[in-house]
Structure 1
């Protein structure tokens, strides 16, 4: 697997690149080759070299001209092969403006996941492993903030949203809030087994692979927008 890691903090960029290569056998079923780069211009050169990278990790604040969602916008404009991009950022889910930047990256610029540099290291490495395994990954705290800032539609409007039945929609909205299976069961007064069964039906109907992708689809529906086009699972 060929990876491009883009970050203007050169020490961090090189350290993370070396970590990935050293622990490749723990994180991925295939060998990992990481190229660290420190500017957007160099990243655009590398992403267009053949063979193309399989995955790009992109810091959002590279210099005065490339900051926030604009960094990903500029990168995607120069990424004609649509190499998947994961945002690796120091933005925090406690700041409304920064949460909106993360939402734009997922909704408008097709980011394949988010890693928080300021979060717990264990969570970040779990996210790395999931991403390298082909999953879309967003930290739980970011998903929760996405859910809190969406407006629920009226009951008459949401009855069959996304092709889900009313009961499936209830479970879907709980998933979008980041609730666990146990919490959903308690809130809806059903068994955990029922929640698992309904969740599997939801994943199948939405053509997603996991709770994160389902939460994104439901949150996009609640907010009236559309999530990134992930294609069929």
Structure 2
């Protein structure tokens, strides 16, 4: 089994890669070879090689603008073979914003599982074994937070308007209504930082420069006329 491990903490990335290879006989019934890389660009270069890896472990906070769920989105765009991707992250289930990022990874970007860097060593070992055995694995504490979340479901269902994911479309509709970042965060029960992150992805996908242009595009999709009810600031 060929594994690609992507993490910008080089020492940790190499250590985890060596750990998996050293304990391969305990973790998997097939031989394992792990390639560590430290940037998203390097990871995408590896994905372009033939044959691609069988499995990818991806940190969510890498170089440049690759932070949170955006990292997985960018990676999946360069993953035409649909190689399974497991999120290996320092995010914690005790933080509402970080739980929502993990939810987005599973719901919107087809993550195959989640490993928590800060979790108990034994649980991470069990998770690795299950994942390498072909299972979808999510730590129990993350599943509990998913189940207990009071966040309202996306009104857009499974539709992908303008090429946006359901979460991006929710933010886009709020932008089109002229809501501020703070108001959007309150309505969608996320942080302002998360709204800024998703907004940047929306601008890039729609090829617009600002909130006003994004609002115009979304309103046109909604059939709401030439512009938002109130021009976004």
TM-score, L = length of structure 1: 0.65
Q: Which string of whole-angstrom CA distances, capped at 9 and with x for unpartnered residues, describes residues 192-214 of structure 1? A: 99999999999999999999999
CA 1:53/1:16 → structure 2, altered by over 3 Å: closer, same or farther? same
CA 1:217/1:28 → structure 2, altered by over 3 Å: closer, same or farther? farther
Offset, 1:51: 1.2
Offset, 1:232: 44
Question: What SS is found at the alignment partner of 2:87?
Answer: strand
More off after superposition, 65-74 vs 179-188: 179-188
CA distance in 2, matches of 1:161, 1:200: 17
CA 1:16/1:228 → structure 2, altered by over 3 Å: closer, same or farther? farther
Runs of 4+ with >4 A deviation:
150-233
CA 1:71/1:188 → structure 2, altered by over 3 Å: closer, same or farther? closer
CA 1:80/1:102 → structure 2, altered by over 3 Å: closer, same or farther? same
Q: Is the 8 A contact 1:7 1:13 kept in 2?
A: yes
Q: Which string of whole-angstrom CA distances, capped at 9 and with x for unpartnered residues, describes residues 35-58 of structure 1? A: 000000000010121111000000
CA distance in 2, matches of 1:76, 1:4: 14
RMSD in angstroms over aligned alpha carbons?
14.1
Q: Which string of whole-angstrom CA distances, capped at 9 and with x for unpartnered residues, describes residues 15-53 of structure 1? A: 010111111100000000000000000000101211110
Give the unaligned 5+ runs of structure 2. none
Q: Which string of whole-angstrom CA distances, capped at 9 and with x for unpartnered residues, describes residues 156-207 of structure 1? A: 9999999999999999999999999999999999999999999999999999
Aligned residues: 233
Give the unaligned 5+ runs of structure 1. none
TM-score, L = length of structure 2: 0.65
Question: What SS is found at the alignment partner of 1:3?
Answer: strand
CA 1:232/1:90 → structure 2, altered by over 3 Å: closer, same or farther? farther
